[in-house]
Homo-oligomer: A and B are copies of this chain.
Amino acid sequence: MENYRSPQRDAAFVAYELFDFQSHYEALDLEDVSPDLVKAIHAEAAKFADNVLAPINQSGDQEGCHWNDGEVTTPEGFKEAYKQYVEGGWPSMSHPPEWGGQGLPYSLATSIAEFFSGANHSWAMYPGLSQGCISTILAHGTDALKQKFLPKLIEGQWTGTMCLTEAHCGSDLGMLRCKAEPNDDGSYTLTGTKIFISAGEHDFADNIVHIVLARLPDAPAGTKGISLFIVPKFNVSDDGELADRNQVECGSIEHKMGIKASATCVINFDGAKGFLIGEPNRGLNGMFTFMNIARIGTGLEGMAASEAALQGSLRYAKDRTQFRSPTQRQGERSADPIIVHPDVRRMLLTQKAFAEGSRALAYYCMQQVDISQRSKDSESVQLAEARLALLTPIVKAFFTETAQEATSYGIQVYGGHGYISEWGMEQLARDTRISSLYEGTTGIQSLDLLGRKVLGSKGELLAVFLKEISAFCDTVDADEQTGLWCKQLGQAMQQWQKLTATVGKAAGANPDELGAASVDYLMFSGYVTLAYYWLKMATVAKQKLAEGTSETDFYQGKVATAQFYFARLLPRAQSHAAAIEAGAASLMDIGEDMFKAD
């Protein structure tokens, strides 16, 4: 995907025409973050993504990472790109000035993360993991630990990781065994093996700071006995200089379906020195504050993949000629560009609807994160947190599930060529497949949405969001077309509430009803949610067209895609509704030995 182009125009549309980020930033005392500044930062980030990261995406996949006796070498160009990233000041964007950060809003840092991920998913994971590590230390570290680790991390001289998973426990972290024993000097000695540690070892930086989940000696069993530790690859002196090597080693790297240029490490802690952060035994709670925001980042990977698939498919569909169109023949030639064919358009529009619909919802969530982090008005903070609680699992799971369809269409539009590595489409599909697995699988997100968020709040979180949609539909200046969409959306909202009530009641009698409905419930929610954002986008676009604009193609494309979405994608919610209504019986009635004869 050397031709990947960061979607700057659409980013500006969503930020400034759809959500009025100018007023948003002003309300948060961020008037320095002017539209011009955002535009300039987006342009610089796009330059880096398109010209530095995209060109090493395919070669990185082909070369992969190399492990040798505990050391990991990343593919050619990766280290150099990281150096440029650090020199460009990108790592520090959204972090507090007191630790060397630029104090820019989360939304700005995250919007450019889409560009990086779209250009090169594997590469973008290294700095992405650092952000997780930094956020955790910021939230839970003592001042001394912050002083020791944050400046170098925020500057990008060091990178970070999150060490959660062990071989026998992924989703179910309550079973983890990694141990931390207290030392006399207040530090801890960590022992155990973690797997699937992204960016766990590499050649980008002088030091790697691991955030490790482990158990104290007297810890209770289960999730209530997990604590958080900082464990650096190299020990660090009190003045922040590198000291001796810690007992942390990369035992091997995984061979994977995709993101081959991202080192996925087995990390052995063999009596490693670490530092407790946060309350003992409360590590998982501390983690989840951060995890919710990290999950938005994972959702963005899916959205970025859908965007990249659209770009590639569109380029090919305009170039490749095959068959004549019955209605749109282009001159005297033996075949027309395949974009004339309805089924090719169906695939392109699906990619566009997912990529751009997701972008709208993503920016909305970024806005809410800004508010939750910076607003001084506690009601606004509370409302933003309520919105995020509901929407985060949708962003994570729906964006990454739809990315699988969008990238599969990327292959399909190319026909047999889509299966050939040189065209880049099959890599997109392989790379993005991870995003519905890590940071909580689609199944886990769905239980979070339905169980913890919707039913856990007794429907309150859902009601808040539905109220917002209703208010929009009530006040929008609807023409005939948008009026129909509002009606369709209104019906979907009613159904959403009804389904919630149905499942809630059933789950009261039989807790398996929750898991039986959860993934279909999340997909239903995703389709309805994106319909709302497509309605909003089309409304803005229609207004721009009515006012007169030089960008008629851009705005008409928005309206046409909304039409496509309401006509052909929103109806998919019905099959998910039917599956939810079918209940748990058809899943649970089958005995374990009935699945296979032999």
Interface residues of A (CB under 8 A from B): 5, 7-10, 165, 168-172, 174-175, 196, 221, 254-258, 310-311, 314, 318, 321-323, 325-327, 334-335, 339, 341-346, 348-349, 352, 404, 408, 411-412, 415-422, 426, 429-430, 433-434, 436-438, 441-443, 446-447, 510-516, 518-519, 551, 553-554, 556-557, 560-561, 563-564, 567-568, 571-575, 578-579, 582-598
CB distance from A416 to the nearest CB of B (A): 5
Do residues A578 and B587 form an inter-chain contact, with CB atoms below 8 A? no
14 further A-B contacts with Cβ under 8 Å, apart from A256-B421, A415-B441, A557-B594, are A171-B322, A171-B323, A174-B334, A221-B334, A310-B595, A342-B514, A345-B588, A345-B590, A416-B438, A554-B597, A557-B591, A557-B597, A567-B582, A571-B575
Cα–Cα distance between A596 and B8 once the two chains are bound (Å): 11
Cα–Cα distance between A169 and B416 once the two chains are bound (Å): 10
> Chain A contact residues: over half helix, strand or loop, or mixed?
helix
CB distance from A564 to the nearest CB of B (A): 4
Cα–Cα distance between A345 and B8 once the two chains are bound (Å): 42
Cα–Cα distance between A284 and B571 once the two chains are bound (Å): 39
A257 partner, pick from B404, B429, B574, B593, beta carbons under 8 A: B429
Report if A551-B171 is in contact (Cβ < 8 Å); known contacts: A408-B404, A438-B416, A575-B572.
Answer: no
A582 partner, pick from B514, B568, B594, B598, beta carbons under 8 A: B568
A311 partner, pick from B314, B418, B582, B596, beta carbons under 8 A: B596
Cα–Cα distance between A67 and B582 once the two chains are bound (Å): 53
Cα–Cα distance between A359 and B593 once the two chains are bound (Å): 20
Nearest to A322 among chain B residues (CB) is: B172
Cα–Cα distance between A578 and B565 once the two chains are bound (Å): 12
A322 partner, pick from B169, B408, B426, B597, beta carbons under 8 A: B169
15 pairs of residues in contact across A and B, judged by CB atoms under 8 Å: A255-B420, A257-B411, A342-B512, A343-B518, A352-B596, A412-B437, A416-B438, A553-B593, A557-B591, A557-B594, A560-B589, A560-B594, A563-B586, A571-B575, A571-B582
